[in-house]
C-alpha cells in the first residue's frame, strides 16, 4: 500500500527583485519539507536553479513600473514540481532558443541553463502578458 | 582570499565585483574565491566571476575557486565554465603552489 502524498501549493505576488528571489527560494525550501526530500536532493536543486534564472528574469524585466506585480505559483504532487510566472514585461520569444554563450561572455546564460535542467520550459504571450511554465520531474 | 557568503545571484554579484576591484587596485593579485559559504549561484553570479577573472588576468594575476557546493559545481559544468575555472575541493588545495 503506497503512502498518500498531499498536493503542495504555494502562491505569491512578487515585487522587488531581492525579496522576490528570497520568496522563490523559500518556496522551494517549503516544498522540500512538504514532500520529504533531503537538503541535497538533486532534482530539486536543478529545479531551484531554473527557478532562480526565470525568476530573476521576470522580476528584472517583467514589471514595467513599481505598481505591477509578478504572479508566482508553485505546485507539486510529489512526483514533479510545476511553477508558473505571469508578468507584464516585453515579449521574450526571440530569446528562448538562445544557445549557451561563449565562455568569456558575462551574461546571457539564464534561459539556456533553465532549458537544460528542466523537463519542460513553456512560454506564452497573450496580449501584454507573459506566462512561463516550468516543469521538473522529481 | 575572498569569501562571499549566501547567494551569488543577481542581488549578490555586485559585492563580489567590488571586493575583486579592491584587490586588483592593490597590485597584481593572486586570488582564491572561497565558495564554501555560497549556497546558490545563478548566471549573473557566474558573470561576476567571469568579470573577476578578466579583471585579475588583465592585472597579470591569477584566480582560483575553492570549495564550491554541488549546485555551484553543476552550474559550472552545465555552462562548461569548469574548463575556465578549474576548481579545488578545499581552500588548502587551492592555495597549494599558488
Whole-number pLDDT of residue A4: 61
Average pLDDT over residues A15-26: 95
Residue whose C-alpha cell is 588545495: B93
For B9, the closest of A21, A45, A108 (CB atoms) is: A21
* Look-up of cell digits 520529504: A36
The partner residues of B21 in beta bridges, in order of sequence, read none
CB atoms within 10 A of CB B38: 24
Cβ–Cβ under 8 Å, residues B23 and B54: no
pLDDT at A65: 83
Q: In chain A, positions 3-42, which contact chain B (CB-CB < 8 Å)? A: 17-18, 21, 25, 40, 42
Chain B residues in contact with chain A using a Cβ-Cβ cutoff of 8 Å: 7, 9-11, 40, 42-44, 46-48, 50-51, 54, 70-71, 74-75, 78-81, 83-84
Scanning the structure block, which residue is given the C-alpha cell 575557486?
Answer: B65
Q: How far is CA A138 from CA A30, A32, B35, B51, in A?
A: 15, 11, 27, 34
Quick one: pLDDT band at residue A59, thresholds 50, 70, 90? very high
Q: State chain A's mean pLDDT as an integer.
A: 92
B6 vs A83: CA distance, rounded Å: 23
CA angle (B39 as vertex; A46, B29 as ends), nearest 5: 120
CA-CA distance, B3 to A93, in Å (whole number)?
Answer: 38
Among B40, B43, B70, the residue with its CB nearest the CB of A40 is B70
Region A28-52 average pLDDT? 96
For the stretch B14-67, pLDDT in tens is: 888 888 888 888 777 889 999 999 999 999 999 999 998 998 988 889 999 999
Residues of B in contact with A45 (CB under 8 A): 70-71, 74
Percentage helix, strand, coil, to 5, in chain A? Answer: 35, 30, 35
Start-to-end C-alpha separation, chain B: 12
pLDDT tier, A3 (very low <50, low <70, confident <90, very high otherwise): low
CB contacts of B84 in chain A (<8 Å) are 103
ipTM: 0.89
Amino acid at each position: 500500500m503506497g503512502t498518500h502524498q498531499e498536493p503542495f501549493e504555494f502562491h505569491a505576488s512578487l515585487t522587488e527583485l531581492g525579496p522576490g528571489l528570497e520568496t522563490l527560494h523559500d518556496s522551494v525550501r517549503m516544498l522540500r519539507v512538504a514532500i520529504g526530500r533531503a537538503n541535497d536532493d538533486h532534482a530539486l536543486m536543478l529545479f531551484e536553479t531554473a527557478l532562480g534564472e526565470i525568476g530573476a528574469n521576470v522580476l528584472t524585466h517583467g514589471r514595467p513600473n513599481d505598481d505591477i506585480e509578478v504572479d508566482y505559483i508553485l505546485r507539486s504532487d510529489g512526483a514533479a514540481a510545476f511553477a508558473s510566472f505571469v508578468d507584464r514585461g516585453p515579449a521574450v520569444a526571440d530569446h528562448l532558443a538562445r544557445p549557451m554563450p561563449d565562455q568569456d561572455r558575462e551574461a546571457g546564460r539564464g534561459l539556456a541553463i533553465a532549458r537544460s535542467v528542466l523537463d519542460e520550459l513553456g512560454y506564452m504571450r497573450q496580449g501584454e502578458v507573459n506566462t512561463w511554465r516550468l516543469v521538473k520531474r522529481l | 582570499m575572498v569569501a562571499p557568503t549566501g547567494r551569488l545571484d543577481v542581488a549578490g554579484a555586485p559585492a563580489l565585483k567590488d571586493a575583486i576591484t579592491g584587490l586588483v587596485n592593490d597590485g597584481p593579485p593572486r586570488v582564491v574565491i572561497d565558495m564554501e559559504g555560497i549556497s546558490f549561484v545563478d548566471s549573473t553570479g557566474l558573470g561576476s566571476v567571469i568579470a573577476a577573472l578578466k579583471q585579475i588576468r588583465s592585472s597579470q594575476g591569477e584566480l582560483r575557486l575553492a570549495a564550491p557546493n554541488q549546485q555551484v559545481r553543476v552550474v559550472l559544468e552545465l555552462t562548461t565554465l569548469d574548463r575556465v575555472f578549474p576548481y579545488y575541493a578545499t581552500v588548502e588545495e587551492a592555495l597549494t603552489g599558488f
